[in-house]
Amino acid sequence: MTSTFAKSPAKPEARQQEWEFVGQAFNGCKRQPLSLKGPVVSLNISTTRHGFSQRLLDTVPTRTGWKMSVAASHRTVAADPLTTSETASADRPLPTAQRPQSAVPRGMQRYLALDDFETAARRRLPKMLYGFISGAAETDAALRDNRQAFVDFGFVPRVLMDVSNRNQTTTLFGKTYAAPFGIPPFGSAALCAYRGDIVLARAGAAMNVPMILSAASLIKLEDVKRENPSAWYQAYLAGDASRIEPLIDRVATAGYETFVVTVDVPVPANRENNIRTGFQVPLVITPRVAWDVVTHPQWLLGTWMRTLMSHGMPHFENMDATRGPPVLSKNLIRNIGNRDQLAWRHVELIRRRWKGKLVVKGLIAPQDARIARECGVDGVMVSNHGGRQLDCAVSPLRTLPEIAAEANGMTVMLDGGVRRGTDVLKALALGARFVFVGRPFLFAAVAEGEPGVRRALSLLKEEVDRDMALLGVRSIAEITPDLVRRLSPQTPYGRNAP
């Protein structure tokens, strides 16, 4: 590139120096002159490998409010004043352009989507624990359908809707949350991430989204409640009233306001991937498991050894009214009890004794939603347990509209397969009031602790905000079924095809 500078006659009345810059730039084989006229304060021109680009850093006089426009080849481009009320002054510092500073810590900027946390967590975790989190039952068909169901729907966006004042706050059971999604229960979260339940609880409180503590957690429910006063409690129950009632009393005494009963685990699932990777409950240290652990020192030292040294051997703290066995105990299976005896009469028992909000988690069939409503349940969570129980169980998204039709005032939530903001909006459009996002938030806790979970929550919240604008809605209430379309015909589940 060649450049020439020529000084034009000064205008005494303005007391300014007017300079003319003429640059010859080559864009491919085409020669294109560029001319700028005006009181230039500073002009920075750079060339690229394939042509000409200009970068106005201290630029054409910002202090006098000038602007620059680009014209076609062989035309003069002039810097025209927006105002002439102020003249350039050499005694004032030159304006400089600042690179926008990201509010995201440098270490978190590499995480651009929820799936990115899984990659980082996989490197840190022993194979047995990564398989425990990521795997599902038998062929993983239910797990795959959880994602495929979202792919089967597309959007019909509205335009010119003035979406400048978007708001995704959502009221659930009388409390207003910052976003329409939350953190579901994770069994053994503290075995995967150091103080995992505390990490998730703190992040949920900081971001103002609900967090559900699992009965299979390794940290006392009272300790978690102190970290997050709005946390919910989730129970795995045997069909035994003598064990159910004392547990309800303990949860109520701790100050929890929402009690979640998981009902899709009558027997342990056939998780072949756990057998292949060496994971089992209770934990058994075999030579293969020992090697797996030793070759992942970040987890060994940062999670397992740190837990032992600071808090002792982890126990299943919240299965019953009293402390459960340690994670290495051979009595663990016996302690779990006979969950295959759990029935709707036990839900009615809980409803009579529990004075707070009652949620049943693990429904897929619309008929079960109707029975739950008749039992006095406040809400249902449509879920196939992340594909971890019955292989080939359909995605909760597929029966969500039918369950929403049976709700009749009962709150309907969805858990399973949500990975993007678009997934959240699809679920809301098809009848969910709220959604819960599972594995990604636990992977975020493993990879980066509490800051990682906050980053994951922020990413999803930003996606929801952006997607609401692109969809043409300003509030969660405006997300309606007419905004989505099924991309392929499908016979409704639960009905016989002709």
Cross-strand partners of 358: 259
Is the C-alpha dihedral spanning 417, 422, 428, 430 positive or negative?
negative
Of the residues 296, 315, 346, 385, only one is catalytic, namely 385
List, in order, residues 6 or more apart from 237 with CB less than 8 Å away. Answer: 243, 244, 247, 261, 339, 342, 346
CA 492 to centroid of chain Cα atoms: 29
In the block, tokens 């309907």 appear at 412
At 122, which amino acid appears? R
What's the rounded Cα separation, in Å, for the pair 270 and 342? Answer: 20
Quick one: 280 exposed, middle or buried, by C-beta within 10 A (0-12, 13-18, 19+)?
middle
What's the rounded Cα separation, in Å, for the pair 474 and 451? Answer: 29
What's the rounded Cα separation, in Å, for the pair 388 and 139? Answer: 10
| Residue 21, phi-psi category: left (phi > 0), alpha (psi -120 to 50), beta (remainder) | beta
What's the rounded Cα separation, in Å, for the pair 386 and 440? Answer: 12
What's the rounded Cα separation, in Å, for the pair 234 and 217? Answer: 10
How many C-alpha atoms does 220 have within 13 Å on its Cβ side?
Answer: 9
What's the rounded Cα separation, in Å, for the pair 234 and 250? Answer: 13
Compute CA distances 199 → 107, 202, 251, whole Å.
18, 5, 20
DSSP string, 244-265: HHHHHHHHHHHT--EEEEE-S-
| Residue 121, phi-psi category: left (phi > 0), alpha (psi -120 to 50), beta (remainder) | alpha
Short-list 68, 154, 39, CA closest to 488: 154
385 has catalytic annotation: yes
What's the rounded Cα separation, in Å, for the pair 101 and 278? Answer: 46
- Active-site positions read 385
